[in-house]
Chain A
Amino acid sequence: MEILYPIIALGSLGILFGVGLSLAAKKFCVSSDPRIDKIQNNLPGANCGACGMGGCSSLAEALTEGKCGIDKCTVVNEDNKIKISQILGIEFKKSARKIATLHCGAGVRVKNRYVYSGIEDCVAANLVLGGQKSCIYGCLGFGTCARVCPFGAIEISEEGLPVIDKDKCRGCNKCVEACPKKLFSLTLETHNVSVACSSKDVGKDTKSICPVGCIACGLCEKACKFDAIHVVDNVAVIDYNKCTSCGECVKVCPMKTIKS
């Protein structure tokens, strides 16, 4: 008989609370905007934070309140953007997609200054005199970017360089922030010309350590008909507002640093 008391007492308390709370949930229910849930279903749900909010649910809330546009989310695909626009009752304007671009083309072609045997991570390696590579601006190749990418769009190739899968990349900015050498940038998908070097050393020094680095010769500047490429701090920089992706600079670059 004794054993029944705790079972009955605890069981009835549990049932009481269960029923009571479910009734209370009905009575005190707060009707939230049903669109928030619908929008959230169409958002990627990666909670990557590229929109600058806490996560997909906060973005959905901001969208329903009209505080921002759907373009805030760089991740969501075209179909879902259209769906979300329909839910919100606004017209969908197509905007170009941004993807990450790497500004280093050296990889294993640049020799190591010393043997690094620490943690296999670019940030850790960078703490030791700026990394093991002879070029202090170049990619260290430990794949921190590949690990932070929430979409599996970056892989480290045999050349020791991250390769970006343009279809998988959603332009979430994670790799841009993670790279200790700041080698990534987000560019529009339609701009397919990029400078694969970030070395600020003078041309002679760059050439002595890297076979593909920018030597700041300025040939691309002369070749460009649109005034879109300039050598700044010994490295060519493309102004994407002017660049038309004509490819003239790619043809003249003696080091094959500019790629398309």
Chain B
Amino acid sequence: MEISRIISIAISMVFINNFILSKFLGLCPFLGVSRRTQAAFSMGIAVIFVMVFSALLTSLIYVFVLVPLNIVYLRTIFFILIIAAFVQLIEMVIRKKSPALYKALGIYLPLITTNCAVLGVAILNINEFFAPGTPVYAGILYSIIQAFFAGIGFCVALLLMSGIRERLEFTDTPPSMKGIPVAFIVAAIMSLAFMGFSGFKL
């Protein structure tokens, strides 16, 4: 457990390997929920939340079920099942316990159920931190940290996009490019900008 490693994970997840703009995962909410900053922020928080808890659950299942039974090759299908069930459960609990939170986050939770960014961070954790011979509990801890910063990166990308799109609505866009088409172009330019970070060596 080294501080420098955590910092490198943070910078890597937020900027260099940003899930949306560098890995191109979770593009559906990126274009779908980025019209208003408020909605984008709620979505980002929901993603951080789901990512952290699903990273914990998936790494536990990986260590205590998949590896002992020698069925690591089934990880994708296991993880999808776990994440989907978990998100459903969370949705029910939030709806019951905190209607206010449900109003803010609830409608985004079903969107995340099968979001590829959430699955992506789980798979990435397994590939990076659970190589044979490494200590298991450190791996789980790093997984959670990586998932948290991946969520932050997701949130940052969503907020940037929504900020741009809100201003874009007032610009004189050619009619055929209005809405989604120009959003795609903006996304491409943002992605190019984030490519600049890949020059960093950590």
Cβ of B188 under 8 Å from chain A: no
How far, in whole Å, are A233 and B51 apart by their CA atoms in the complex? 63
The answer for the CA separation of A192 and B122 in the assembled complex, in Å, is 66
Judge if B78 is at the interface, Cβ distance under 8 Å.
yes
Q: Are A21 and B85 within 8 A (Cβ)?
A: yes
Most chain-B CB neighbours within 10 Å: which of A6, A14, A25, A30?
A6
- Asked if B69 and A9 make an inter-chain contact with CB atoms under 8 angstroms apart, the answer reads yes
A10 and B92 in contact (CB under 8 A), knowing A5-B69, A5-B70, A5-B71?
Answer: no
Q: Are A13 and B81 interface neighbours, CB within 8 A?
A: yes
Are A10 and B77 in touch, CB under 8 angstroms? Answer: yes
Count, chain B residues at interface, CB 8 A? 18
With a CB–CB cut-off of 8 A, which chain B residues contact A13? 78, 81-82
When the two chains form the complex, which single residue of B77, B89, B95, B97 contacts A20, counting CB atoms closer than 8 Å? B89
Closest to B96 in A: A28
Whether A17 touches B81, Cβ cut-off 8 Å, given contacts A5-B71, A9-B71, is yes
> Please, what's the 1-or-0 string for A2-29, where 1 marks a CB less than 8 Å from any CB in chain B?
1001100110011001001100110111
User: Which residue of chain B has its CB nearest to the CB of A18?
Assistant: B85
Chain A positions 122 through 144: 1 when the CB is less than 8 Å from some CB of chain B, otherwise 0: 00000000000000000000000
Is B65 part of the contact surface with A, judged by Cβ < 8 Å?
A: yes
B93–A28 CB distance below 8 A: yes
Complex interface residues of chain B between 133 and 168 (CB less than 8 A to chain A): none
In the bound complex, residues from chain B placing their C-beta under 8 Å from that of A2 are: 70
Q: How far is the CB of B177 from chain A (nearest CB, A)?
A: 15
Task: Check B88 against A9 for contact (C-beta < 8 Å).
Answer: no
Least distance between B73 CB and chain A CB atoms (Å):
9
Specify which chain B residues have a CB less than 8 angstroms from the CB of A25 in the assembled complex. 92
Residues of B within 8 A of A21 (CB): 85, 88-89, 92
Chain B nearest CB, measured from A108 CB (Å) = 29
- B3 located at the interface, meaning its Cβ lies under 8 Å from any Cβ of chain A in the complex: no
Distance, CA A5 to CA B70, complexed state (A) = 8
- Least distance between A146 CB and chain B CB atoms (Å): 23
Q: Is the interface of A mostly helix, strand, loop or mixed?
A: helix
When the two chains form their complex, are residues A28 and B95 in contact, meaning their CB atoms are under 8 A apart? yes
Chain A residues with CB under 8 Å of B78's CB are 9-10, 13
Chain B hits for A10, CB < 8 A: 74, 77-78, 81
Residues of A within 8 A of B71 (CB): 5-6, 9
Chain A neighbourhood of B65, CB < 8 A: 9
Counting contact residues on chain A (CB < 8 A from B), the size range is 10 to 19
CB neighbours of B66 from chain A (8 A): 9
Collect the chain A residues with CB atoms within 8 Å of residue B93's CB. 24, 28
Contacts of B85 on A, CB cut-off 8 Å? Answer: 17, 20-21
Measured in the bound complex, the distance between the Cα atoms of B78 and A207 in whole Å is 75
- Who on chain A is nearest to B89 by CB? A24
Give complex CA distance A76, B77 in Å: 45
Q: How far is it, in angstroms, between the C-alpha of A13 and the C-alpha of B89 when the chains are bound?
A: 15
Most buried by A among B82, B85, B93: B85
State how many angstroms separate the Cβ of A33 from the closest Cβ of chain B: 14
A98 to chain B, nearest CB (A): 30
Query: In the bound complex, do residue B92 and residue A28 qualify as a contact, i.e. CB atoms below 8 Å apart?
Result: yes
Q: How far apart sit A154 and B26, CA to CA, in the bound complex (Å)? A: 42
Per-residue B-contact encoding for A213-236, CB less than 8 Å = 1, 0 else:
000000000000000000000000
Residues of B within 8 A of A24 (CB): 89, 92-93
A residues less than 8 Å from B77 (CB atoms): 10
CA of A13 to CA of B85, assembled, Å:
10
Q: How far is the CA of A141 from the CA of B74 in the complex (A)?
A: 58
User: What are 26 pairs between A and B in contact, CB < 8 Å?
Assistant: A2-B70, A5-B71, A6-B71, A6-B74, A9-B66, A9-B69, A9-B71, A9-B74, A9-B78, A10-B77, A10-B78, A10-B81, A13-B81, A14-B81, A20-B85, A21-B92, A24-B89, A24-B92, A24-B93, A25-B92, A27-B96, A28-B92, A28-B93, A28-B96, A28-B97, A30-B96
Could you tell me which A residues sit within 8 Å of B by CB distance?
Answer: 2, 5-6, 9-10, 13-14, 17, 20-21, 24-25, 27-30
Shortest Cβ-Cβ A-B pairs, 3 listed:
A17-B85, A28-B96, A28-B92
